[in-house]
Amino acid sequence: MTLDGTVTDRRIIGMPASPGIVIGPVHLLLWEVPDVPHTIIPDEAVAGEIARLHAAIDRAKERLEQVKRRAENHAGPEEAAIFDVQIHILSDVELIQRVESLIRQNIGAEKAFDLVLIEWRQHFARHAQPMIRERVSDLTDVQIRVLSILLGLPDHDPVDVPKGTNAILVTHDLTPSLTVQLDREAIAAIATDAGTRTSHVAILARSLGLPAVVGLRDATSRLHAGEQVILDGSSGLLLPEPTPAQIEAYTDRAAREAADEAELRHLIGAEPVTLDGVRIILRANVDLPEEAAYAAHSGAEGVGLMRTEFLVVGRASMPDEEEQYRAYKKVVMAFDNHPVVIRTFDMGGDKLPIGGYPTEANPFLGWRAIRMCLDEPELFKTQLRALLRAAMHGDVRIMLPLIVTVDEVRQARRLLEEAGRELDARNVEYRHDLPLGIMVETPAAAVAADTLAHDVAFFSIGTNDLVQYTLAVDRGNANLASRFTPLHPAVLRLIRRIVEVGGHHGLEVSVCGEMASQPLMAFALIGLGVRQLSVAARSVPLVKRIVRGVSARVATDAADAALNAQTARESEALLRARLLSAFGDAPFLRDGLPAYVDGNTFEGYGGP
């Protein structure tokens, strides 16, 4: 059912990832390695196939030069450097000779190129050097680009979208090389077949303020380039070929939402205090250094989570110490003396900003986050040195992701001390007493919080992964989205335990997961005793409105009831009833309350 009550057969329902309504043309981006037929060519066709191969490579290189120039203009030279690597790959003599050799064995140019790139990707993925493994994503992009030319497939680079188009980018998933090319003056919204509300593309869309719907499964095969579509990021709906009545209805709603948001922005300077006088510290999550200024003007009292892995999205190599230092310094200085919590690289799982890591059967349980950093000490110490230097400009705090043992904390601390000694040797100034805290995002860390508390300065609860690991639900799997339930009593009990242990040891406990941005979840967290929340910058006024409209006592009563619920559905219903009694049907709650769709699933967070 659409906004004006009309049911259309072509409506496509996914998961809401970033709120907002956009009415615009589809920019269809089929960025996947195409199927390549195995063709055998006669001897007399060999020379022609080799010539066709070289023509395709030359055309691909010209195209990459063009893409690089455009990416430099709206993303910067460092981000555009990814295309230099791809141009270099296409100039590799060994690669070209290998493809030519297969063609001389009577294999068609497309299949010969495809076979060699598959071979190279497998070889690079198994390489011992991380910097070599990082090239796999570049090889994949090169493979897609050249094969598309050889097969006569359309060129879909998003940089081709003219500014002011107000296009809706529809693709299977958003890769690093595509992310670099995103031009917000041309792309107004994102829709992807893959992903969930907590996936990389969803987080990125919210950070950029782009409405987004993810988990659409087959939108790329159901939509046509250029056709008019309504995207509703709040309900997770794509509506192709809208009628005039539907366009009018959604246009009216977009105007109302804009007015609601403007009203909430009046709260930017207000203090986040509950009706019964409990002060809540409200900070912002920052993905990109460029977001710091906006976040600082959102009313946030510092940064509760800076995701540093986004510094290397789309990059062919890791940023060096100086580049990282400048990025961290930019965020720190935007917040004067407010705390800025910077998380060390959390790469792996669904976060492969530079790609090329070994393929793992269970990446979320594999070589990622602190595990990778401890195994790559030089890479990790480069980041630590940059953080120590950036701390000279403000209140920097270091947060370690995916900690499950005390040994990991102690090993990281030793590397931090070693990084300091390396700066001493260079006579570089840095701050010596940086607080070292951890993300509590596994059941192991939550249960062992009393042990970890002796070695850390603060806890920050990463709700996305805590839910994932507690419920054994892959948060990146669209097929399991209905089972990703943050309000499951088991999750709530772990959060309550972390808060109690932190309080007992005098540690600050915050929540920096996406959960805190949702009104119902923020209400639940206040009830569980959390007094520091970190949310997307654009959600700061909304969460502040929730804080100022409820009593901590009522929230605690509601959370106590939810803790004793039998199911996530029952828990959600108990909390929802208490929140609605405080606010009624307030407009700002519509995007934040999980709602039942078709009577049996939660919208956005899934079913019981």
Q: What three-state secondary structure class fits 16?
A: strand
Identified catalytic residue from 373, 393, 488, 512: 512
**Hey, is 235 helix, strand or coil?**
coil
Q: What are phi and psi of 12, to 5 degrees?
A: -120, 125
C-alpha span between 345 and 1 (Å, rounded):
43
Helices (H), ranges, 426-459: 443-447, 449-452
The answer to whether residue 127 is catalytic is no
- Helix, strand or coil, per DSSP, at residue 421: helix
User: C-alpha angle with apex 142: 140 to 148, nearest 5 degrees?
Assistant: 100
DSSP letter string, 119-158: HHHHHHHT-SSHHHHTTHHHHHHHHHHHHHHHHTPPP--G
Phi, psi of 352 (to 5 degrees): -120, 70
Of 121, 133, 146, 190, the C-alpha closest to 53 is 146
Write down the catalytic residue from 27, 200, 393, 488.
200
**In this structure, what token pair is assigned to residue 67?**
């893409």
Annotated active-site residue 200? The verdict is: yes
Cβ(121)–Cβ(355) below 8 Å: no
Which amino acid, one-letter code, is at 329? Answer: K
Q: Which residues of 316-326 are buried (b: 16+ CB within 10 A; e: fewer)?
A: bebbebebbbe
Residue type, 546: I
Contacts of residue 381, Cβ cutoff 8 Å, sequence gap at least 6 = 415, 418, 419, 422
Contact residues for 317 (Cβ-Cβ < 8 A; gap 6+)? 131, 134, 354
Distance between CA 385 and CA 231 in Å, rounded?
44
- The answer to whether 301 and 281 are in contact (CB under 8 A) is yes
Catalytic residue numbers read 200, 512
